């Protein structure tokens, strides 16, 4: 009786030692992984760059990483890539500090918060590290005359322009007349707010031929977006809707689901901002009609190029703001090389 | 296999086999120190640039938020409870202090701004702690449920206070406190306390040696106070007693309900202090800044040897636990390892910690 109780409740010494050994073995496995991933390629210079993503593993940032890596290989610099597990300044700041201690030459970063990340990046700059913003900015993004001017450049999409491009493409696809509804994410996110603003400008430019039926926020939930659009379509306003602009993937997918449920697929056109592979699958299945892709790969490659310019004294080639542009993908051009190159890669 | 393995210890039990168990005894008592030391040695050998005083004081400053939160959690877990609300209490306090500091900043002296931010931040943060304690102690609702509810309430309140947006603090000097150092050593050999002298023409920032970051100093003070509170005072003894057996404590005349309320207030107070520190270090306050730290803070307490059933654990243990996590997170960066491995490494250490704890209990039972 005593034996079984002991056996159930606690581990024998042998099991304990085996467990310890397993953990230690795991530790050395980690070390082995580290050894292999940190091996640099044949570099002509000794420069080390780090790309700190807004969140690790997101296809948008993975695509940015691929662009940065390609340029790093071309220019012979060593590129490290890191990022927090959640999009949070609390988690991103210690990573910045660790790379300051690691003494990298250039830090390319998609800051998680425009205010909170100023102090950590100021520390990096004080330590002599060149700081470059990609995708997001710190301060107000104006590195020439804004409150924060130490980063070399802000390389990212112009989201007002992106919203306008999306709006124009959507207006064209509904035949330049009718009504457009905007499904947005959460108030206060600068990028998605700017996309809505751009789309509204495109609608205004039609001088009344196209009207804004309404807009709503879904808190980044496809289920909520679907509910909201379903309610809209069954209301009196529903007949006025010819096109829907989803300011991100979930907003567009949820809207598309509601349109499908209302048997209006094809009659109501849907534009989706951002181009992860899921968005292209949706496009091919006729769930959405337009996909507006940013160019994260260009952000990564330009940032690495700029870093090398800064280290080699070619500062005149560096612009404080680079807007990387967009690709509009629909069913007719989805298989073109330019469109395929713009799709975000998840690995 | 398992059955025969399990039978072995009982064979040992019949013998006076104390000497045979000595090595395991040592490992179980000092294992966390040993593990921390092994980690530092391992990363020093494999990660170039890891072993560096500046890296270590950075680790200390960066872990201050999570460890201050974990210290409060230590008292709660010791008493047999759990506090899931601390992440969003921290966020709420950071918003409250940011609102005050940005409102009066510029018109009042810096010291007044800081004290006002601190007072309001801690004051606002104490409210959820008081409510947690009252509901748990007086209405007898399990801590897990109460603090899970408060997790949501504090989250909502933080977002409402801030209007859903981060509250930016532009006041000069606030960021300087959160990111400053006690001592600056200039390249010409001059020393400066608290802040850099203004006449620094021709000196590059990277030439200045900065020592003792303020968040690290605050952290050390808080650790010392908590260690004293737990090990030297009646409050500490009562905490262990309540965690060991609530019924026995009540019979021994300990005011268990009052004590429980105080413990949850202490936990909220420390979480709020972390929130105010966040605001000073990052020059803004937002409702969700503490959420990513909640589980890490609980992990630090568990790795530090505290039992989730209460009655066991020390402040020093929690410090070691938080250090182990921080060193793993920092060291893996020096090795260039994918950050997803951090979760696996920390997860494995948590399980290892509990395994050692069980092995230790087995030893105590046998002797």
Sorted by sequence, the CB contacts under 8 Å of residue A328 that are 6+ apart come out as: A165, A166, A169, A290, A291, A292, A293
What is the rounded distance in angstroms from the CA atom of residue A159 to the CA atom of residue A225?
A: 21
Instruction: Give the closest of A93, A116, A118 to B62, CB-based.
Output: A93
Distance of CA A161 to the CA centre of its chain: 17
Residues A286 and A179 in one domain: yes
Q: In Å, how far are A7, A20, B20, B32, B364 from B359, measured between CA atoms? A: 12, 12, 15, 14, 9
Chain position carrying tokens 């790379």: A99
pLDDT of residue B15: 41
What is the rounded distance in angstroms from the CA atom of residue B190 to the CA atom of residue B192?
A: 7
What is the rounded distance in angstroms from the CA atom of residue A347 to the CA atom of residue A331?
A: 24
* Residue B299 lies inside a defined structural domain of this protein: yes
Q: How many inter-chain contacts (A to B, CB under 8 Å) are there?
A: 174
* Residue A312 lies inside a defined structural domain of this protein: yes
* Residue B320 lies inside a defined structural domain of this protein: yes
Residues A168 and A256 in one domain: yes
Average pLDDT over residues A131-139: 94
Does the pLDDT value for residue A46 go beyond 90? no
Question: Tokens at residue A162, please?
Answer: 């992106």
Please state the domain count of chain B. 1
* Residue B137 lies inside a defined structural domain of this protein: yes
For residues A226 and A257, the answer to whether their CB atoms sit within 8 Å is: yes
Q: CB distance A115–B168 less than 8 Å? A: yes
* Residue A14 lies inside a defined structural domain of this protein: no
Instruction: Identify from A81, A116, A118 which residue to disrupt to test chain B contact, counting B C-beta atoms within 10 A and taking the largest count.
Output: A116
Interface subset of A 42-81, CB within 8 angstroms of B: 56-57, 80
Interface subset of B 327-346, CB within 8 angstroms of A: 329-330, 332-345
The CATH number of residue B80's host domain is 1.10.3470
Residues A109 and A82 in one domain: yes
Residues A237 and A122 in one domain: no
Does the pLDDT value for residue A52 go beyond 80? yes
Instruction: Give the closest of B164, B283, B362 to A10, CB-based.
Output: B362
Instruction: Identify from A1, A5, A7, A85 which residue to disrupt to test chain B contact, counting B C-beta atoms within 10 A and taking the largest count.
Output: A7
Predicted confidence band at A61 (pLDDT cuts at 50, 70, 90)? Answer: very high
For residues A329 and A71, the answer to whether their CB atoms sit within 8 Å is: no
Reduce the DSSP state of residue B83 to 3 states and report it: coil
Please tell me the distance in Å from A71's CA to the nearest CA on chain B. Answer: 20
Please tell me the distance in Å from A81's CA to the nearest CA on chain B. Answer: 8
What is the rounded distance in angstroms from the CA atom of residue A134 to the CA atom of residue B231?
A: 50
* Residue B97 lies inside a defined structural domain of this protein: yes
**A-chain residue closest to B3, CA distance:** A7
For residues B97 and B117, the answer to whether their CB atoms sit within 8 Å is: yes
pLDDT of residue B163: 85
Please tell me the distance in Å from B334's CA to the nearest CA on chain A. Answer: 7
* Residue A273 lies inside a defined structural domain of this protein: yes
B97 φ/ψ angles, rounded to the nearest 5 degrees: -70, -35
pLDDT one-digit tens code per residue, B76-103: 999 999 999 999 999 999 999 999 999 9
* Residue B29 lies inside a defined structural domain of this protein: no
Please state the domain count of chain A. 2
Residues A214 and A136 in one domain: no
Q: Which is more confidently placed, B132 or A190?
A: B132
Single out the residue in A248, A275, A294 at which a domain terminates: A294
What is the rounded distance in angstroms from the CA atom of residue B6 to the CA atom of residue B115?
A: 59
pLDDT of residue B23: 61
What is the rounded distance in angstroms from the CA atom of residue B289 to the CA atom of residue B91?
A: 5
Domain that holds residue B262: 47-173+233-366
Q: CB distance B292–A98 less than 8 Å? A: no
The CATH number of residue A201's host domain is 3.40.50.2300
Does the pLDDT value for residue A24 go beyond 60? no
Average pLDDT over residues A40-62: 79
Number of CB atoms found within 10 A of residue A3's CB? 15
Instruction: Identify from B1, B6, B337 which residue to disrupt to test chain A contact, counting A C-beta atoms within 10 A and taking the largest count.
Output: B6
Query: Is the Cβ of B52 closer than 8 Å to some Cβ of chain A?
Result: yes
Residues A191 and A283 in one domain: yes
Please tell me the distance in Å from A254's CA to the nearest CA on chain B. Answer: 23
pLDDT of residue A111: 93
Q: CB distance A116–B284 less than 8 Å? A: yes
What is the rounded distance in angstroms from the CA atom of residue A64 to the CA atom of residue A69?
A: 9
* Residue A35 lies inside a defined structural domain of this protein: no
For residues A51 and A108, the answer to whether their CB atoms sit within 8 Å is: yes
Does the pLDDT value for residue A150 go beyond 70? yes
Interface subset of B 267-326, CB within 8 angstroms of A: 278, 281-284, 286, 288-293, 326
pLDDT of residue A35: 37
Sorted by sequence, the CB contacts under 8 Å of residue A337 that are 6+ apart come out as: none
**Which residues of chain B are under the pLDDT cut of 50?**
1-19
Residues A180 and A262 in one domain: yes
Residues A259 and A110 in one domain: no
Instruction: Give the closest of A26, A30, A119 to B179, CB-based.
Output: A119
Domain that holds residue A180: 159-294
Residues A166 and A286 in one domain: yes
* Residue A220 lies inside a defined structural domain of this protein: yes
Question: Tokens at residue B42, please?
Answer: 């391992």
Chain B neighbors of A2, CB-CB under 8 A: 10
Query: Is the Cβ of A18 closer than 8 Å to some Cβ of chain B?
Result: no
User: pTM of the prediction?
Assistant: 0.79
Report the complex ipTM: 0.77
Chain B neighbors of A3, CB-CB under 8 A: 6-7, 10
pLDDT of residue B100: 95
* Residue A81 lies inside a defined structural domain of this protein: yes
Chain A neighbors of B336, CB-CB under 8 A: 34, 37-38, 80
Chain position carrying tokens 């918060």: A113
pLDDT of residue A108: 98
Residues A277 and A188 in one domain: yes
Average pLDDT over residues A65-72: 96
What percentage of chain A's residues is helix, strand, coil (to nearest 5)?
50, 20, 35
Query: Is the Cβ of A83 closer than 8 Å to some Cβ of chain B?
Result: yes
Report the percent of chain A where pLDDT is more than 90. Answer: 62
- What is the CA angle B130-B135-B136, rounded to 5? 100
For residue A67, give the H/E element and its range.
Answer: helix A59-75
Residues A153 and A300 in one domain: yes
Does the pLDDT value for residue A5 go beyond 50? no
Sorted by sequence, the CB contacts under 8 Å of residue B20 that are 6+ apart come out as: B12
Chain position carrying tokens 């070399």: A152
Chain position carrying tokens 């609390």: A90
For residues B355 and B362, the answer to whether their CB atoms sit within 8 Å is: no
Q: CB distance B164–A187 less than 8 Å? A: yes
* Residue B4 lies inside a defined structural domain of this protein: no
For residues A123 and A96, the answer to whether their CB atoms sit within 8 Å is: yes
Number of CB atoms found within 10 A of residue B342's CB? 19
pLDDT one-digit tens code per residue, A263-318: 888 899 999 999 988 889 889 988 899 999 999 999 999 999 999 999 999 989 99
* Residue A83 lies inside a defined structural domain of this protein: yes
* Residue A12 lies inside a defined structural domain of this protein: no
Query: Is the Cβ of B186 closer than 8 Å to some Cβ of chain A?
Result: no
Number of CB atoms found within 10 A of residue B148's CB? 13
Query: Is the Cβ of B360 closer than 8 Å to some Cβ of chain A?
Result: no
What is the rounded distance in angstroms from the CA atom of residue B340 to the CA atom of residue A85?
A: 7
Chain B neighbors of A90, CB-CB under 8 A: 65, 278, 289-290, 292-293
Nearest-CA neighbor of B168 among B286, B287, B277, B290? Answer: B286
Chain B neighbors of A80, CB-CB under 8 A: 336
* DSSP-derived secondary structure for A154-210: EEE--HHHHHHHHHHHHHHHTTS-EEEEEEE--TT-HHHHHHHHHHHHHHHTTTTSE
Nearest-CA neighbor of B323 among B86, B29, B66, B26? Answer: B66
Does the pLDDT value for residue A12 go beyond 70? no
Single out the residue in A251, A271, A294 at which a domain terminates: A294
Average pLDDT over residues A186-205: 89
Q: In Å, how far are A185, A225, A249, B122, B278 from A220, measured between CA atoms? A: 5, 8, 9, 32, 27
Q: What b/e readout covers A230-246, taking b as 16+ CB neighbours within 10 angstroms? A: bebbeeeebeebbbbbb
Question: Tokens at residue B222, please?
Answer: 């808080």
* Residue B206 lies inside a defined structural domain of this protein: no
């Amino acid at each position: 009786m005593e034996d079984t109780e002991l056996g159930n409740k606690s581990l024998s010494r042998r099991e304990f030692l085996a467990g310890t050994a397993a953990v230690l073995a795991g530790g050395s496995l980690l070390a082995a992984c580290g050894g292999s991933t940190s091996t640099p390629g044949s570099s002509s210079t000794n420069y080390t760059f780090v790309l700190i993503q807004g969140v690790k593993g997101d296809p948008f940032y993975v695509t940015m990483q691929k662009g940065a890596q390609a340029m790093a290989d071309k220019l012979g610099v060593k590129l490290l890539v890191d990022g927090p597990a959640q999009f949070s300044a609390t988690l991103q700041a210690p990573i910045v500090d660790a790379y300051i201690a690691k003494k990298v030459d250039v830090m390319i970063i998609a800051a998680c918060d425009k205010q909170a990340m100023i102090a950590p990046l100021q520390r990096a700059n004080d330590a002599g590290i060149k700081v470059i913003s990609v995708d997001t900015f710190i301060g107000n993004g104006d590195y020439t005359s804004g409150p924060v001017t130490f980063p070399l450049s802000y390389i990212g999409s112009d989201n007002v322009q992106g919203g306008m491009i999306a709006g124009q493409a959507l207006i064209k696809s509904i035949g330049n007349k009718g009504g457009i509804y905007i499904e947005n994410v959460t108030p206060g996110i600068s990028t998605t707010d700017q996309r809505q603003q751009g789309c509204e400008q495109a609608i205004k430019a039609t001088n009344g031929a196209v009207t804004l039926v309404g807009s709503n926020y879904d808190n980044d939930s496809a289920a909520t977006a679907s509910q909201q659009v379903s309610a809209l379509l069954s209301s009196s306003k529903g007949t006025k809707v010819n096109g829907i602009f989803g300011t991100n993937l979930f907003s567009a997918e949820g809207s598309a689901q509601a349109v499908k449920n209302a048997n209006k697929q094809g009659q109501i056109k849907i534009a989706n901002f951002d181009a992860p592979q899921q968005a292209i699958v949706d496009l091919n299945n006729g769930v959405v009609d337009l996909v507006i892709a940013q160019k994260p790969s260009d952000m990564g490659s330009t940032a690495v190029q700029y870093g090398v310019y800064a280290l080699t004294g070619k500062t005149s080639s560096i612009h404080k703001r680079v807007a990387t542009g967009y690709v509009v993908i629909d069913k007719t051009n989805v298989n073109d090389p330019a469109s395929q190159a713009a799709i975000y890669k998840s690995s | 296999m398992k059955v025969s393995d399990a039978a072995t210890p009982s064979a040992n039990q019949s013998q006076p086999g104390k000497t045979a168990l000595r090595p395991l005894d040592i490992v179980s008592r000092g294992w966390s120190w040993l593990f921390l030391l092994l980690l530092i040695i391992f990363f020093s050998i494999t990660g170039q640039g890891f072993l560096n005083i500046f890296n270590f004081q950075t680790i200390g400053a960066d872990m201050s938020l999570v460890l201050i939160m974990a210290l409060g959690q230590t008292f709660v877990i010791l008493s047999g409870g759990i506090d899931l609300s601390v992440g969003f209490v921290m966020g709420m306090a950071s918003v409250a202090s940011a609102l005050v500091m940005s409102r009066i900043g510029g018109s009042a002296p810096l010291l007044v701004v800081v004290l006002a931010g601190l007072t309001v931040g801690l004051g606002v943060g104490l409210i959820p702690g008081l409510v947690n304690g009252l509901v748990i102690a007086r209405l007898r609702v399990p801590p897990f449920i109460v603090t899970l509810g408060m997790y949501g309430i504090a989250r909502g309140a933080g977002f409402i206070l801030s209007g859903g947006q981060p509250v930016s603090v532009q006041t000069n000097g606030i960021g300087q406190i959160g990111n400053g150092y006690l001592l600056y050593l200039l390249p010409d050999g001059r020393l400066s306390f608290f802040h850099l002298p203004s006449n620094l023409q021709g000196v590059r920032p990277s030439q200045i040696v900065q020592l003792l970051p303020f968040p690290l100093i605050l952290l050390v003070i808080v650790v010392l106070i908590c260690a004293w509170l737990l090990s030297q005072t009646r409050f500490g003894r009562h905490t262990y007693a309540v965690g060991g057996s609530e019924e026995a404590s009540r019979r021994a005349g300990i005011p268990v309900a009052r004590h429980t309320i105080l413990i949850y207030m202490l936990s909220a107070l420390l979480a709020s202090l972390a929130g105010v520190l966040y605001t000073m270090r990052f020059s803004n306050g937002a409702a969700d800044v503490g959420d990513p730290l909640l589980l890490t803070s609980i992990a630090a307490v568990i790795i530090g040897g505290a039992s989730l059933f209460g009655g066991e654990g020390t402040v020093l243990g929690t410090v070691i636990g938080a250090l182990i996590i921080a060193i793993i997170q920092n060291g893996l960066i020096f090795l260039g390892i994918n950050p997803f491995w951090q979760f696996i490494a920390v997860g494995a250490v948590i399980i290892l910690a509990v395994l050692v704890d069980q092995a230790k209990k087995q030893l105590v039972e046998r002797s």
